Protein backbone atom coordinates (compact mmCIF):
# COMPACT_ATOMS: atom_id res chain seq x y z
CA UNK A 1 0.00 0.00 0.00
CA UNK A 2 2.66 2.51 1.03
CA UNK A 3 4.75 1.43 -1.95
CA UNK A 4 1.84 1.92 -4.33
CA UNK A 5 1.17 5.33 -2.78
CA UNK A 6 4.77 6.41 -3.22
CA UNK A 7 4.86 5.31 -6.83
CA UNK A 8 1.97 7.61 -7.75
CA UNK A 9 3.02 10.42 -5.42
CA UNK A 10 5.56 11.55 -8.00
CA UNK A 11 3.99 14.43 -9.98
CA UNK A 12 6.33 13.82 -12.93
CA UNK A 13 5.06 10.28 -13.30
CA UNK A 14 1.48 11.51 -12.96
CA UNK A 15 2.01 14.15 -15.66
CA UNK A 16 3.38 11.59 -18.13
CA UNK A 17 0.68 8.99 -17.41
CA UNK A 18 -2.21 11.47 -17.44
CA UNK A 19 -1.06 13.05 -20.72
CA UNK A 20 -1.29 9.62 -22.31
CA UNK A 21 -4.74 8.58 -21.01
CA UNK A 22 -6.55 11.94 -20.89
CA UNK A 23 -7.49 12.21 -24.62
CA UNK A 24 -8.88 8.67 -24.63
CA UNK A 25 -10.87 9.15 -21.45
CA UNK A 26 -12.33 12.37 -22.85
CA UNK A 27 -13.26 10.90 -26.26
CA UNK A 28 -14.81 7.75 -24.74
CA UNK A 29 -16.63 9.85 -22.14
CA UNK A 30 -18.13 12.17 -24.77
CA UNK A 31 -19.10 9.21 -26.97
CA UNK A 32 -20.79 7.24 -24.18
CA UNK A 33 -22.57 10.30 -22.81
CA UNK A 34 -23.95 11.26 -26.23
CA UNK A 35 -24.98 7.65 -26.87
CA UNK A 36 -26.64 7.23 -23.48
CA UNK A 37 -28.45 10.57 -23.55
CA UNK A 38 -29.47 10.20 -27.21
CA UNK A 39 -30.80 6.73 -26.48
CA UNK A 40 -32.64 8.01 -23.41
CA UNK A 41 -34.17 10.98 -25.25
CA UNK A 42 -35.08 9.32 -28.51
CA UNK A 43 -35.50 5.59 -28.08
CA UNK A 44 -36.05 4.54 -24.47
CA UNK A 45 -39.73 4.05 -23.56
CA UNK A 46 -41.65 6.66 -21.56
CA UNK A 47 -42.62 5.82 -18.01
CA UNK A 48 -46.20 4.62 -17.46
CA UNK A 49 -46.69 7.12 -14.61
CA UNK A 50 -44.27 9.94 -15.36
CA UNK A 51 -44.54 10.02 -19.15
CA UNK A 52 -41.63 11.68 -20.93
CA UNK A 53 -40.30 13.45 -17.84
CA UNK A 54 -38.52 10.22 -16.95
CA UNK A 55 -36.02 11.21 -19.68
CA UNK A 56 -34.60 13.74 -17.20
CA UNK A 57 -33.44 10.72 -15.19
CA UNK A 58 -30.64 9.97 -17.71
CA UNK A 59 -29.03 13.23 -16.57
CA UNK A 60 -30.23 13.45 -13.00
CA UNK A 61 -29.25 10.03 -11.67
CA UNK A 62 -25.72 9.86 -13.18
CA UNK A 63 -25.10 13.45 -12.00
CA UNK A 64 -26.17 12.45 -8.48
CA UNK A 65 -23.87 9.41 -8.57
CA UNK A 66 -20.96 11.58 -9.71
CA UNK A 67 -21.72 14.22 -7.05
CA UNK A 68 -21.50 11.55 -4.34
CA UNK A 69 -18.64 9.55 -5.86
CA UNK A 70 -16.49 12.65 -6.30
CA UNK A 71 -17.13 13.59 -2.68
CA UNK A 72 -15.88 10.15 -1.67
CA UNK A 73 -12.79 10.86 -3.78
CA UNK A 74 -12.41 14.20 -2.02
CA UNK A 75 -12.61 12.45 1.36
CA UNK A 76 -10.00 9.85 0.35
CA UNK A 77 -7.61 12.49 -0.96
CA UNK A 78 -8.14 14.43 2.29
CA UNK A 79 -7.04 11.36 4.30
CA UNK A 80 -3.99 10.86 2.06
CA UNK A 81 -3.12 14.55 2.35
CA UNK A 82 -3.55 14.72 6.13
CA UNK A 83 -2.05 11.39 7.15
CA UNK A 84 0.63 10.68 4.54
CA UNK A 85 1.20 14.23 3.23
CA UNK A 86 0.93 12.64 -0.21
CA UNK A 87 1.98 15.47 -2.60
CA UNK A 88 -0.52 14.65 -5.36
CA UNK A 89 -3.36 14.14 -2.89
CA UNK A 90 -2.68 17.59 -1.47
CA UNK A 91 -3.40 18.97 -4.94
CA UNK A 92 -6.17 16.50 -5.83
CA UNK A 93 -8.79 18.02 -3.54
CA UNK A 94 -8.55 21.33 -5.37
CA UNK A 95 -9.03 19.49 -8.67
CA UNK A 96 -11.98 17.37 -7.50
CA UNK A 97 -14.06 19.93 -5.58
CA UNK A 98 -15.11 22.18 -8.51
CA UNK A 99 -16.04 19.13 -10.62
CA UNK A 100 -18.07 17.67 -7.76
CA UNK A 101 -19.79 21.01 -7.21
CA UNK A 102 -20.70 21.23 -10.92
CA UNK A 103 -22.26 17.74 -10.94
CA UNK A 104 -24.15 18.60 -7.73
CA UNK A 105 -25.56 21.72 -9.41
CA UNK A 106 -26.62 19.61 -12.41
CA UNK A 107 -28.24 17.10 -10.04
CA UNK A 108 -30.17 19.80 -8.14
CA UNK A 109 -31.21 21.75 -11.26
CA UNK A 110 -32.41 18.70 -13.21
CA UNK A 111 -34.15 17.40 -10.09
CA UNK A 112 -35.95 20.70 -9.73
CA UNK A 113 -37.01 20.65 -13.38
CA UNK A 114 -38.28 17.10 -12.85
CA UNK A 115 -39.98 17.90 -9.54
CA UNK A 116 -42.02 20.80 -10.92
CA UNK A 117 -44.14 18.74 -13.39
CA UNK A 118 -44.25 15.57 -11.22
CA UNK A 119 -44.57 16.87 -7.65
CA UNK A 120 -45.93 20.33 -8.42
CA UNK A 121 -42.99 22.01 -6.69
CA UNK A 122 -39.56 23.18 -7.81
CA UNK A 123 -38.17 22.50 -4.37
CA UNK A 124 -39.26 20.86 -1.11
CA UNK A 125 -37.27 20.90 2.13
CA UNK A 126 -37.19 17.16 2.58
CA UNK A 127 -34.29 14.99 3.67
CA UNK A 128 -33.00 13.93 0.24
CA UNK A 129 -33.05 17.37 -1.36
CA UNK A 130 -31.71 19.12 1.72
CA UNK A 131 -28.83 16.66 2.21
CA UNK A 132 -27.79 17.12 -1.45
CA UNK A 133 -27.90 20.90 -0.95
CA UNK A 134 -25.61 20.38 2.07
CA UNK A 135 -23.30 18.41 -0.26
CA UNK A 136 -23.09 21.46 -2.54
CA UNK A 137 -22.27 23.67 0.45
CA UNK A 138 -19.53 21.23 1.51
CA UNK A 139 -17.94 21.48 -1.94
CA UNK A 140 -18.20 25.28 -1.93
CA UNK A 141 -16.86 25.38 1.64
CA UNK A 142 -13.90 23.22 0.63
CA UNK A 143 -13.05 25.55 -2.27
CA UNK A 144 -13.42 28.67 -0.13
CA UNK A 145 -11.43 27.30 2.80
CA UNK A 146 -8.55 25.97 0.71
CA UNK A 147 -8.16 29.41 -0.87
CA UNK A 148 -8.45 31.32 2.40
CA UNK A 149 -4.81 30.97 3.52
CA UNK A 150 -1.68 32.60 2.12
CA UNK A 151 0.11 29.29 2.64
CA UNK A 152 -1.51 26.87 0.16
CA UNK A 153 -0.66 23.81 2.28
CA UNK A 154 -2.32 25.21 5.39
CA UNK A 155 -5.42 25.90 3.31
CA UNK A 156 -5.39 22.32 2.04
CA UNK A 157 -5.11 21.00 5.60
CA UNK A 158 -8.04 23.08 6.88
CA UNK A 159 -10.20 22.19 3.87
CA UNK A 160 -9.27 18.49 4.22
CA UNK A 161 -10.61 18.44 7.78
CA UNK A 162 -13.88 19.95 6.53
CA UNK A 163 -14.01 17.30 3.78
CA UNK A 164 -13.55 14.51 6.37
CA UNK A 165 -16.26 15.84 8.67
CA UNK A 166 -18.57 16.18 5.66
CA UNK A 167 -18.21 12.48 4.82
CA UNK A 168 -21.03 11.72 7.29
CA UNK A 169 -23.35 13.42 4.79
CA UNK A 170 -22.86 10.66 2.19
CA UNK A 171 -24.75 7.90 4.06
CA UNK A 172 -27.34 10.49 5.03
CA UNK A 173 -27.97 11.23 1.33
CA UNK A 174 -28.01 7.57 0.41
CA UNK A 175 -30.41 6.43 3.14
CA UNK A 176 -32.46 9.62 3.46
CA UNK A 177 -35.18 8.12 1.27
CA UNK A 178 -35.50 5.17 3.68
CA UNK A 179 -35.11 6.99 7.00
CA UNK A 180 -37.51 9.86 6.44
CA UNK A 181 -40.79 10.39 4.66
CA UNK A 182 -40.05 12.04 1.37
CA UNK A 183 -41.52 12.79 -2.02
CA UNK A 184 -38.33 11.49 -3.57
CA UNK A 185 -38.56 7.94 -4.84
CA UNK A 186 -36.40 5.29 -3.16
CA UNK A 187 -33.42 3.63 -4.85
CA UNK A 188 -34.40 1.51 -7.84
CA UNK A 189 -31.03 0.59 -9.37
CA UNK A 190 -28.81 -0.23 -6.39
CA UNK A 191 -31.11 -2.63 -4.60
CA UNK A 192 -29.97 -5.91 -3.14
CA UNK A 193 -32.76 -7.64 -5.04
CA UNK A 194 -32.90 -7.28 -8.82
CA UNK A 195 -33.08 -3.62 -9.95
CA UNK A 196 -36.67 -2.37 -9.93
CA UNK A 197 -36.26 -0.82 -13.31
CA UNK A 198 -36.89 -2.21 -16.79
CA UNK A 199 -33.86 -3.17 -18.85
CA UNK A 200 -34.95 -0.82 -21.70
CA UNK A 201 -34.51 2.10 -19.29
CA UNK A 202 -31.68 0.61 -17.23
CA UNK A 203 -29.25 0.10 -20.14
CA UNK A 204 -29.25 3.68 -21.49
CA UNK A 205 -29.03 4.89 -17.87
CA UNK A 206 -25.90 2.82 -17.28
CA UNK A 207 -24.38 3.92 -20.62
CA UNK A 208 -24.96 7.54 -19.70
CA UNK A 209 -23.56 6.95 -16.20
CA UNK A 210 -20.41 5.37 -17.68
CA UNK A 211 -20.06 8.42 -19.94
CA UNK A 212 -20.46 10.78 -16.98
CA UNK A 213 -17.87 8.81 -15.01
CA UNK A 214 -15.32 9.17 -17.81
CA UNK A 215 -16.13 12.87 -18.31
CA UNK A 216 -15.73 13.48 -14.57
CA UNK A 217 -12.42 11.59 -14.66
CA UNK A 218 -11.22 13.67 -17.63
CA UNK A 219 -12.14 16.92 -15.88
CA UNK A 220 -10.41 15.88 -12.65
CA UNK A 221 -7.27 14.78 -14.54
CA UNK A 222 -7.13 18.05 -16.51
CA UNK A 223 -7.63 20.12 -13.35
CA UNK A 224 -5.06 18.06 -11.43
CA UNK A 225 -2.55 18.64 -14.24
CA UNK A 226 -3.31 22.36 -13.87
CA UNK A 227 -2.75 22.15 -10.09
CA UNK A 228 0.62 20.42 -10.61
CA UNK A 229 1.66 23.15 -13.07
CA UNK A 230 0.55 25.88 -10.66
CA UNK A 231 2.52 24.25 -7.83
CA UNK A 232 5.56 24.22 -10.12
CA UNK A 233 4.97 27.88 -10.97
CA UNK A 234 4.82 28.71 -7.24
CA UNK A 235 8.10 26.87 -6.64
CA UNK A 236 9.80 28.65 -9.56
CA UNK A 237 8.52 31.99 -8.29
CA UNK A 238 9.82 31.31 -4.78
CA UNK A 239 13.22 30.28 -6.16
CA UNK A 240 13.34 33.52 -8.17
CA UNK A 241 12.53 35.63 -5.13
CA UNK A 242 15.15 33.77 -3.08
CA UNK A 243 17.76 34.32 -5.82
CA UNK A 244 16.93 38.01 -6.07
CA UNK A 245 17.22 38.33 -2.29
CA UNK A 246 20.61 36.61 -2.21
CA UNK A 247 21.93 38.86 -5.02
CA UNK A 248 20.76 41.98 -3.19
CA UNK A 249 22.09 40.76 0.13
CA UNK A 250 25.53 39.83 -1.24
CA UNK A 251 28.37 42.19 -0.24
CA UNK A 252 29.51 44.41 -3.13
CA UNK B 1 -40.19 15.86 -35.06
CA UNK B 2 -42.51 18.30 -33.29
CA UNK B 3 -43.86 15.42 -31.22
CA UNK B 4 -40.29 14.61 -30.23
CA UNK B 5 -39.67 18.23 -29.22
CA UNK B 6 -42.99 18.46 -27.33
CA UNK B 7 -42.16 15.39 -25.19
CA UNK B 8 -45.81 14.78 -24.31
CA UNK B 9 -46.28 18.36 -23.14
CA UNK B 10 -43.24 18.26 -20.81
CA UNK B 11 -40.79 19.50 -23.46
CA UNK B 12 -39.82 22.76 -21.73
CA UNK B 13 -38.81 20.94 -18.53
CA UNK B 14 -36.91 18.18 -20.29
CA UNK B 15 -35.04 20.43 -22.73
CA UNK B 16 -34.27 22.93 -19.97
CA UNK B 17 -32.73 20.12 -17.91
CA UNK B 18 -30.49 19.10 -20.83
CA UNK B 19 -29.59 22.74 -21.54
CA UNK B 20 -28.60 23.36 -17.89
CA UNK B 21 -26.45 20.23 -17.82
CA UNK B 22 -24.73 21.20 -21.07
CA UNK B 23 -24.14 24.77 -19.87
CA UNK B 24 -22.76 23.78 -16.45
CA UNK B 25 -20.55 20.88 -17.56
CA UNK B 26 -19.52 22.53 -20.86
CA UNK B 27 -18.73 25.75 -19.01
CA UNK B 28 -16.62 23.91 -16.45
CA UNK B 29 -14.80 22.07 -19.25
CA UNK B 30 -14.06 25.34 -21.05
CA UNK B 31 -12.87 27.09 -17.88
CA UNK B 32 -10.72 24.09 -16.94
CA UNK B 33 -9.09 24.04 -20.38
CA UNK B 34 -8.36 27.79 -20.28
CA UNK B 35 -6.93 27.47 -16.77
CA UNK B 36 -4.72 24.62 -17.95
CA UNK B 37 -3.39 26.61 -20.91
CA UNK B 38 -2.65 29.67 -18.79
CA UNK B 39 -0.85 27.52 -16.16
CA UNK B 40 1.24 26.00 -18.97
CA UNK B 41 2.14 29.47 -20.26
CA UNK B 42 3.02 30.66 -16.74
CA UNK B 43 5.38 27.72 -16.12
CA UNK B 44 7.03 28.22 -19.52
CA UNK B 45 7.53 31.93 -18.77
CA UNK B 46 9.06 31.27 -15.33
CA UNK B 47 11.29 28.50 -16.68
CA UNK B 48 12.59 30.79 -19.41
CA UNK B 49 13.33 33.49 -16.80
CA UNK B 50 15.10 30.95 -14.60
CA UNK B 51 17.28 29.87 -17.53
CA UNK B 52 18.16 33.49 -18.34
CA UNK B 53 18.91 34.20 -14.69
CA UNK B 54 21.33 31.31 -14.46
CA UNK B 55 23.36 32.02 -17.63
Q: What is the ipTM of this complex?
A: 0.89
User: Is A93 within 8 Å of A160 (Cβ atoms)?
Assistant: yes
The answer to whether the CB atoms of A99 and B16 lie below 8 A apart is no
B13–A114: do the CB atoms touch at under 8 Å? Answer: yes
Residue A167 lies in a domain: yes
The predicted model gives B10-39 an average pLDDT of 92
| The pLDDT of residue B33 is above 90 | yes
| Residue A196 included in any domain | no
In this predicted model, what pLDDT tens digit does every residue of A200-217 receive, in sequence order? 888 899 999 999 999 999
Cβ neighbours of B49 in A, within 8 Å: 236, 240
Q: Fill in the DSSP letter of residue A52.
A: G
In a domain, A219, yes or no: yes
Q: What's the pTM value of the predicted model, to 2 decimals? A: 0.89
Average the pLDDT over A147-165 and give the result: 89
Domain count, chain A: 1
Is 70 exceeded by the pLDDT of residue A221?
yes
Q: CATH number, domain at A142?
A: 1.20.120
Residue whose C-alpha is closest to residue A223's, from B49, B46, B32, B37: B32
Is residue A189 in some structural domain? Answer: no
Whether A86 has its CB under 8 Å from any CB of chain B: the answer is no
Of the partner residues A42, A60, A229, the one whose CB lies closest to the CB of residue B40: A229
Contacts 24+ apart (CB under 8 A), A236-240: A236/B43, A236/B46, A236/B47, A236/B49, A236/B50, A237/B46, A239/B50, A240/B46, A240/B49, A240/B50, A240/B53
In a domain, A6, yes or no: no
A223 inside domain: yes
Domain ranges (residues) in chain B: 26-55
Amino acid sequence: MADLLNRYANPGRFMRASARVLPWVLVCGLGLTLAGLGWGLGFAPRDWQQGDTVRIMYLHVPAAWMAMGLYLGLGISAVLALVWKHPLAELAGGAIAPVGAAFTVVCLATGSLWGRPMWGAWWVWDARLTSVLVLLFLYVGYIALSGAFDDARRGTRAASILALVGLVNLPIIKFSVDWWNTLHQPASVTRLAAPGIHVDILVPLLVSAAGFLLLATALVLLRLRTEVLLARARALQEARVARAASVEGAPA
Amino acid sequence: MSAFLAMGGHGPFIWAAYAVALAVLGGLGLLSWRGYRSAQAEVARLEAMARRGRS
